[in-house]
Amino acid sequence: MTTDTDQDHPCLPGGLIPLDQWKSPETSVHKTVRAGFQDILEQLRSSITPEGRAFEKLDNLPALSAAKLKKFAPEPSAEELANALNQQLEVFRQDGHHNRPVNFLVAPPFSGVPQALVAMKRRVIMPPDNLLMSEQEVSGWWDEQLAGDDWVLPELADFWLRHRSGLSLLKEFFARVALDNAGEGVVGCSSWCWQFWIQYLPELHTGPVTLTCLTGDRLTQWLDYLASGKSGRHLTARMTHDGLYVLPARSKDSKDKYSSFAQDLANVARGNRGVAHAIWQRALRAKPEEDAEQEGAEDTPANGPKCWVAPLDQLSLPSVPHSSGRQCGHILHALLLHNGVSRAQLELVTGIPGQEISLTLARLTRAELINQDAQISRYQVTPLGYPAARKYLQARGYPVDGF
């Protein structure tokens, strides 16, 4: 189902909604039960196989070239998302849904919100080098940063460490926000960081908003929009095994048979645009299986770019390696809570000795669950590894985000 907002902001399908209205994509009981059994089997399998699997392509079909991939599934534009977010926030203000000077935008990892906030042409507040400031130092630092209005804080998760001495910055910040004493600004916050802080400060009420969950239809619209770019030429994407259509988005008078791929992808990604986009990139193929091209060929538009999509069960996503200890869980959880941290910071927040951290980081990197940003030497969870990491943490009792 598409709405007016989808037409106005194709880069932000569904627009913004209050955080408490967010719902994961609807799925059938059959699929939920199947997913539950698959999770159990996955847990059993991971304890039998010695190492977690990295991403695997289970078919022999050729992947798209880098140039075509960039053309058919380009990275979303931060500037366009920034414009859409600005307009949506303005609508919220005008409607009277939000009348506080500071707007909180809570989004799951890989949503692209921090990059969009940086592109908003406002004064960007960056985290200090030392996150373990004393209470006195913190007060002076915020006085300086919040001196004028019209600021933007791209990612709140960068401003704290889960350590006794690493909470001061955000405690002071939230205290100022609660008193409307922080000027006017926009704050981006990872859903994992947010979850921690609303549990730590249960009386915190800031009226956060979030991006609407990508359902199958919205995901199709968004992928179609990304692929068509400025040229306006729609990409035709069909399944490699049965020739059913995935793109372009179904029009009202379309008689083509469409695959449930987009719906399944939305479910696997739990409506997370970054995760869905990463899997989509890995699913694109240059050629179909034999016969698939013939099926429905008479309906194929004569012009326009064309590519093929491998079924989701032909893609094996990374899984968390089996471990009898808590190292993998602690590290993955810390990386998600802080939107990525350095090795030294990991030592501080998990309490795991440095050598053990190095060994576990190496295992998780080999499994493609995490990668290291060479520029800032921070480790972070990969979009492809995120679904497995989240399930792993949830199954082991860790506090997970609401997305």
Partner 1 sequence: MGDFGLKDALSSITSTAILEAIAVVVAASLLILVIQKLVPAVASKLSGKPRLYLLALVPLLRLLIIILTIVMVVPILVEPSFENMLAIFGALGLALGFAFKDYANSLIAGIVTLYEMPYRPGDWIEVNGYYGEVRSIGTRAAEIVTLDDTVIVIPHGLLWDTLLANGNDGTDNLMCVAELYLDPNHDVARLRSLFRDVIYTCPLTRTYQPVIVAVSANDRGMEYRLKAYPLEPKDQIRFISDLTARATEVCREEGVRILSWPPLPS
Which region among 52-60, 72-80, 99-107, 159-167 touches partner 1 (by CB under 8 A)? 159-167
| 240 close to 61: Cβ distance less than 8 angstroms | yes
Establish if 196 lies at the interface with partner 1 (CB under 8 A): yes
**How is 185-215 classified by DSSP, letter by letter?**
EEEEEEHHHHHHHHHHSTT-----EEEPP--
The nearest distance, CB 1 to partner 1, in angstroms, is 32
H-only helix segments in 286-385: 327-337, 343-350, 354-366
The binding track of 128-147 with respect to partner 1, each residue x by CB under 8 A or -, is --------------------
| 273 close to 265: Cβ distance less than 8 angstroms | no
Residue indicated by tokens 């309906």: 299
Task: Identify the residue among 49, 199, 294, 316 touching partner 1 (CB under 8 A).
Answer: 199
| 278 close to 111: Cβ distance less than 8 angstroms | no
Q: Which of 391, 111, 401, 390 is nearest to 277 (CA)?
A: 111
Which region among 75-83, 208-216, 285-293, 395-403 touches partner 1 (by CB under 8 A)? 395-403
Which region among 2-10, 176-184, 192-200, 378-386 touches partner 1 (by CB under 8 A)? 192-200
* Preceding peptide of 50 cis, ω within 30°: no
What token pair was written down for 213? 């969950």
Task: Identify the residue among 9, 53, 98, 162 touching partner 1 (CB under 8 A).
Answer: 162
H-only helix segments in 246-402: 261-268, 273-283, 327-337, 343-350, 354-366, 386-395
The binding track of 46-75 with respect to partner 1, each residue x by CB under 8 A or -, is -x----------------------------
Query: Measured between alpha carbons, how far is residue 18 from residues 22, 89, 103 in Å?
Result: 7, 11, 11
Establish if 360 lies at the interface with partner 1 (CB under 8 A): no
Establish if 287 lies at the interface with partner 1 (CB under 8 A): no
Cα 371 from Cα 306, distance rounded (Å): 32
- Interface with partner 1 in residues 301-340 (CB under 8 A): 326, 329-330, 333-334
Which region among 94-102, 104-112, 275-283, 388-396 touches partner 1 (by CB under 8 A)? 388-396
The nearest distance, CB 13 to partner 1, in angstroms, is 30
Establish if 164 lies at the interface with partner 1 (CB under 8 A): yes
Cα 243 from Cα 295, distance rounded (Å): 6
Establish if 354 lies at the interface with partner 1 (CB under 8 A): no
Establish if 34 lies at the interface with partner 1 (CB under 8 A): no
Phi, psi of 264 (to 5 degrees): -65, -40
Task: Identify the residue among 43, 87, 342, 371 touching partner 1 (CB under 8 A).
Answer: 43
Residue 10, helix vs strand vs coil: coil
Q: Which of 114, 116, 111, 113 is nearest to 272 (CA)?
A: 111
Query: Judged by CB under 8 A, how many residues of this single chain contact partner 1?
Result: 27
Establish if 349 lies at the interface with partner 1 (CB under 8 A): yes
Q: State the sign of the Cα–Cα–Cα–Cα dihedral 264, 389, 275, 154.
A: positive
Establish if 397 lies at the interface with partner 1 (CB under 8 A): yes
Establish if 399 lies at the interface with partner 1 (CB under 8 A): yes
Establish if 35 lies at the interface with partner 1 (CB under 8 A): no
Which region among 116-124, 247-255, 308-316, 394-402 touches partner 1 (by CB under 8 A)? 394-402
The nearest distance, CB 134 to partner 1, in angstroms, is 12
Which region among 115-123, 164-172, 173-181, 210-218 touches partner 1 (by CB under 8 A)? 164-172
Task: Identify the residue among 113, 157, 167, 193 touching partner 1 (CB under 8 A).
Answer: 167
Q: Which of 18, 8, 25, 17 is nearest to 264 (CA)?
A: 25
Task: Identify the residue among 179, 351, 374, 376 touching partner 1 (CB under 8 A).
Answer: 351
Residue indicated by tokens 């960081």: 193
Can you give the binding site for partner 1, defined by CB under 8 A? 40, 43-44, 47, 162-164, 166-167, 195-196, 199-200, 326, 329-330, 333-334, 349-351, 394-399
